[in-house]
Amino acid sequence: MITLDGCRALDAGDTLRPLRDHFALPEGVIYLDGNSLGVSPKTTAARVADVITREWGKDLIRSWNDAGWFHLPQRLGNKIAPLIGAGPDEVVATDSTSVNLYKVLSAALTMAAEDAPGRKIIISERSNFPTDLYIADSLCRERGYQLKLVEPNEIVASLNSDAAVLMLTHVNYRLGAMHDMAALTRAAHEAGCLAVWDLAHSAGAVPVDLKGADADFAVGCGYKYFNGGPGAPAFVWVHPKHAQRFRQPLSGWWGHAAPFEFTPDYRPAAGITRYLCGTQPIMSLAALECGLDVFGAAQSLGGMSALRSKSLALTDLFIALVEERCTGHDLGLATPREHAQRGSQVSLSRTEGAYAIVQALIARGVIGDFRAGDGAGHPDILRFGFTPLYVGFEDVWHAVEQLKQVLETAEWKRPEFSQKHAVT
Amino acid sequence: MITLDGCRALDAGDTLRPLRDHFALPEGVIYLDGNSLGVSPKTTAARVADVITREWGKDLIRSWNDAGWFHLPQRLGNKIAPLIGAGPDEVVATDSTSVNLYKVLSAALTMAAEDAPGRKIIISERSNFPTDLYIADSLCRERGYQLKLVEPNEIVASLNSDAAVLMLTHVNYRLGAMHDMAALTRAAHEAGCLAVWDLAHSAGAVPVDLKGADADFAVGCGYKYFNGGPGAPAFVWVHPKHAQRFRQPLSGWWGHAAPFEFTPDYRPAAGITRYLCGTQPIMSLAALECGLDVFGAAQSLGGMSALRSKSLALTDLFIALVEERCTGHDLGLATPREHAQRGSQVSLSRTEGAYAIVQALIARGVIGDFRAGDGAGHPDILRFGFTPLYVGFEDVWHAVEQLKQVLETAEWKRPEFSQKHAVT
């Protein structure tokens, strides 16, 4: 039987424990929603204040040069690259995940149209994060493609001679189920398909090896496991063998080979820089860099591999504690039990009251979130993210203890916990 | 003859003078580059610090609801609307100008293809800001259109039966020349063309009346005359009669009618909200709001109309002083002398040394900037922006005095002033 003391012993033996001190964790809160919005690094407030009062306030336009503003997308990209198995000068931090997906999916379709013109289908997962499906739908309409949505176990079989692009999110946002990126990319390539990966729920949470998997294109998020702040700029990677081959349609001046020559003709910059478009929000980029710099500190403690081990230990512990202490409350494990198929979150299904249970937990200081089912095989979900940078084993104990009490006392049935928020 | 005391008297009689106190102006600097990057409002640092430490740091995901993060694009859009002649709920602050131009130009081409399918040309100005031309070029390639670039005096004649869209920047970034939006929009409509306006160098600097002009689409910038901070989010407006008619291609989840239902099918939100795409950078939006709020304070002092009068008085004074005190130095007036054709900047042409003269001025604390000529009729330019919110008449006197000294002493010939920066 797992005990509180046992959990404390795990924290005491956790070599990554010092990383928690890099974050301004709110008091009285166990934060299990870093898969939605990461917490604030302690350095961010001072760094952004310096951008505002000195770099902008005093130095003004000179900071485009002197403070390196203009090259922040590349500088941050180079800090992201080693976390996702990309090389130097292969990643830029810019725009939103949705906008970046539009860029790479456009490039992928252009490439497919040249290399395999008969293929007219984009394959994706039915429960992929909706914005990915919306962007794909848009490009399908524009270019005469069709978006085919399948279940995870149907993906490989769907890769037939009509398929042009396989577009997947590495870790599913609802279930925390992780795809085998290498195997699916291989299957796509064997079928003559390109592979586009969204790393929103994996970058910074699990080891990602884009080049090892020979992926073609990838995008990802700055405000989840990278702790870049609300709406932090996203990132984009293109395999270097493709990066020079195409323009992407959002061909703004930051992607020009010589933006300050102000020539009327577009000439794309070399490499990944051509995936930039317009002027970037500097304060938000500066904040994202603070989040990325914590991974620099994590490097000497074992980096992504050590973070992955801790993440699995945390999610294993949560699953074990829920199964040991919350039996008889109709909680199902929606996240795969297999390590190889699990991201850094655990989703629990429940037929009744999932939303209210999450609200009751939040009232007790345990912050997870709720995702509604679709009435077609996907149940309502209580979602708990375990960011190994700052979540501890004792946190897991207390979270399950609170969940147990919420269920046993049935306090979630109080009317205030059923009131829906506009944004959840 | 104009005197320093005369300039001081103008400041003393300037009813807009109190607005200057809203800004953290750097000491020892006369800042005439607000047309490139506006200065920092005094409120910005504290506001963004509060976003980081309280809204994000303490309240975390709850701030999407409680702090109104999710609706910042609309809230800020409603503060921009009265400054550009738009109605409530017609503007959103989001993404970059380039990305927003891609959205509206896509929608305009879709509309033209339906309403006037034979028309296959986008008309623009050869010296339009390049990113606008790059984005247009991209859409032309995708959709089989042609981008035709003309000189300002050729615009009306170019609006023939092949023209689908007229895309112009209201105030030219190099010359500060302002188009007659109402007349050109009317000419476009009479020719069966749509009118797309970029307000980057006019919004917040000159009165803009989009609905009065019956414009079709518009975009604009947050970090110039709106003082939103480096790379502040841009904005987008669509005439309400068109807004519901089309999807725009960057159909991300923030533009969905019910984003938190997470449905796989895209259903565009009503009105301008469908022009949102992905998650927005909250810190940068919060900073932009501080810039916009100064215009709220300006409202009781006469608003855009009073700001326009002061702007013209400032540029008139600058022109008069340069012509009175800097004769014999080969300076030409590149900005139109006619008020109706002038934005809020003055560009001076010079055949030799324009770059070095700007650098020498910067060394003396007078910040303007340089834009290179194209060797084809457009000369090198010294560019001076006059933001009526914070530039005073005495500033103008001192700026011209420094320019006079730089020219008379020929100190601009010192080698250090010829060294080019990467970003200028």
User: Within an 8 Å CB–CB cutoff, is residue B36 touching chain A?
Assistant: yes
- What is the DSSP-derived secondary structure letter of residue A376? S
The confidence band for B12, taking pLDDT boundaries of 50, 70 and 90, is very high
| pLDDT exceeds cutoff 60 at B424 | no
| Three-state DSSP class for residue A181 | helix
Q: Is residue A88 packed enough to be buried (19+ CB in 10 Å), middle (13-18) or exposed (0-12)?
A: exposed
- With beta carbons less than 8 A apart as the criterion, state whether B108 and B196 touch: yes
- With beta carbons less than 8 A apart as the criterion, state whether A219 and A235 touch: yes
- What is the DSSP-derived secondary structure letter of residue B56? I
How many angstroms separate the Cα of A386 from the Cα of each of A32, A260, A411, B40? 6, 44, 25, 38
Looking at beta carbons, which residues of chain B come within 8 Å of A371?
A: 262
pLDDT (tens digit per residue) in A94-153: 999 999 999 999 999 999 999 999 999 999 999 999 999 999 999 999 999 999 999 999
Looking at beta carbons, which residues of chain A come within 8 Å of B223?
A: 279
User: Within an 8 Å CB–CB cutoff, is residue A61 touching chain B?
Assistant: yes
Active site members of A? 129, 198, 223-224, 383
pLDDT of residue A84: 98
Strand locations in A337-403 (E): 345-349, 366-367, 369-371, 381-385
CB contact under 8 A, A98 and B253: yes
CB contact under 8 A, B234 and A135: no
For residues A107 and A221, give the distance between their C-alpha atoms in angstroms, rounded to a whole number.
20
pLDDT (tens digit per residue) in A216-245: 999 999 999 999 999 999 999 999 999 999
In this prediction, residues B28-56 reach a mean pLDDT of 98
The confidence band for B380, taking pLDDT boundaries of 50, 70 and 90, is very high
* Tokens matching residue A322: 């829920």
Task: State the nearest Cα–Cα gap between B390 and chain A, in angstroms.
Answer: 14
CB contact under 8 A, B99 and A266: no
B125 bridge partner residues: B150
Q: A223-247 as b/e, with b when 16 or more CB fall inside 10 Å?
A: bbbbbbbbbbbbbbbbbeeebeebb
pLDDT of residue B374: 77
pLDDT of residue A423: 62
- With beta carbons less than 8 A apart as the criterion, state whether A165 and A197 touch: no
| Three-state DSSP class for residue A287 | helix
- Report the residue of chain A nearest B231, measured CA to CA: A281
User: Within an 8 Å CB–CB cutoff, is residue A260 touching chain B?
Assistant: yes
Which residue in this structure is represented by tokens 């000159």?
A: B206
pLDDT of residue A45: 98
Expressed in angstroms, the distance from the first to the final Cα of chain A is: 35
Q: Which of B65, B47, B227, B281 is nearest to A45 (CA)?
A: B47
For residues B296 and B204, give the distance between their C-alpha atoms in angstroms, rounded to a whole number.
12
Chain A segment 118-177 residues within 8 A of B by beta carbon are 126-131, 133-135, 137-139, 141-142, 149
Active site members of B? 129, 198, 223-224, 383
| pLDDT exceeds cutoff 90 at B390 | yes
The confidence band for B422, taking pLDDT boundaries of 50, 70 and 90, is low
Task: State the nearest Cα–Cα gap between B257 and chain A, in angstroms.
Answer: 12
| pLDDT exceeds cutoff 90 at B355 | yes
Half-sphere exposure of B81 (CA within 13 A, CB side): 19
Q: What's the helix, strand, coil split of chain A in %, to 5?
A: 45, 15, 40
Task: State the nearest Cα–Cα gap between A153 and chain B, in angstroms.
Answer: 18
Q: Which residues neighbour A156 within 8 Å (Cβ) at sequence distance 6 or greater?
A: A184, A187
What's the predicted TM-score (pTM) here? 0.97
Chain A segment 392-421 residues within 8 A of B by beta carbon are 421
| pLDDT exceeds cutoff 80 at B221 | yes
* Tokens matching residue B2: 């104009």
Looking at beta carbons, which residues of chain B come within 8 Å of A135?
A: 250-252
List, in order of start, the domains of chain B with CATH numbers: 4-41+302-418 (3.90.1150.10), 68-297 (3.40.640.10)
Q: What are phi and psi of B377, to 5 degrees?
A: 100, -20
- With beta carbons less than 8 A apart as the criterion, state whether B36 and B385 touch: yes
- What is the DSSP-derived secondary structure letter of residue A52? I
pLDDT of residue B423: 62
Selecting from A65, A282, A372 the residue whose C-beta is nearest the C-beta of B423 gives A65
Selecting from B61, B128, B131 the residue whose C-beta is nearest the C-beta of A278 gives B131
10-residue mean pLDDT series, chain A (424 residues): 97 98 96 98 98 97 96 98 98 98 98 95 96 97 97 97 98 97 98 98 98 98 98 98 94 95 93 98 98 97 98 98 96 98 98 96 97 83 98 98 98 92 61
Instruction: Say how many CB pairs under 8 Å bridge A and B.
Output: 287
ipTM of the complex model:
0.97
In this prediction, residues B82-93 reach a mean pLDDT of 98
User: Within an 8 Å CB–CB cutoff, is residue B46 touching chain A?
Assistant: no
**Of B206-210, B242-246, B321-325, minimum mean pLDDT range:** B242-246
For residues A371 and A380, give the distance between their C-alpha atoms in angstroms, rounded to a whole number.
6
